[in-house]
Amino acid sequence: MAARLEVIVGPMFSGKTEMLIAKLHRAQYARKRIRIIKPAHDTRTQGFIASRAVNPDGTTEVTDTLSAVMVRTEQDFMRVVTPADFDVLAVDEAQFFPLDEPLKDSLGWFGRAIRALLRERRDTHLHIIVAGLDMDFAEQPFGPVPGLLALADSVEKLTGVCMVCGSDSGYISQRLIAGEQQLVVGDVSEYQVRCRACYEPPGIGPRGVVSAR
């Protein structure tokens, strides 16, 4: 069996991490050796990945967690994946791994490292599962995730519940605070899931939301 890459994408609060954790529990039941990493840039949870539920009052509640290694650089990544004593490599919030400046390709160091690992272990049962946002608040490709989608053997694109109209077609994370910076860590007070009809592009705020520009 050849090594394979699976990518899970969707807006915030669409259940990406919940799906990732469910797949990892299944791998554990099958006695697979798992390794989990996440970007050190994500300061919301340090040392673990967490699925969360949004409560009626707008707060979030952690529903499940798994330990993870925080990774900041390519050197960190290489230390985590060497030696190759794992069957499943899981990555959450992959959009936070930066692309090159100036831009070299659509993968950045993280995407290239994933591609190299798949090539190195191509004749093994290695299963890599990457979860993250494929699109930012301005409808732009986000980090290495779109490039990894092109490399993936399988893709699951999730939607969330629109926090304005309640439809089950939320496709983007609407930023509620001002600023043009792409990498802004936040939660329900900074972001909402929006469907295409309710989404307000940066600089356009007819519903009274602070312009994110």
pLDDT at 208: 46
pLDDT at 212: 44
Structural contact between residues 93 and 132, judged by C-beta atoms closer than 8 angstroms = yes
Domains contained in the chain, CATH given: 4-158 (3.40.50.300)
DSSP helix/strand/coil, 11: coil
Give yes or no: 93 in active site.
yes
pLDDT at 63: 85
pLDDT in tens, the chain (213 residues): 799 999 999 999 999 999 999 999 999 999 999 999 999 988 777 888 988 777 777 677 788 999 999 999 999 999 999 988 999 999 999 999 999 999 999 999 999 999 999 999 999 999 999 999 999 999 999 999 999 999 999 999 999 999 999 999 999 999 988 777 776 676 777 899 999 999 999 876 555 444 444
pLDDT at 205: 56
pLDDT at 206: 52
pLDDT at 60: 76
Taking CA atoms, 153 is separated from 6, 12, 88, 161, in Å, by 6, 23, 15, 27
Could you tell me the pTM of the whole model?
0.89
- Catalytic residue, chosen from 93, 139, 156, 200, is 93
- Which residue type is seen at 6? E
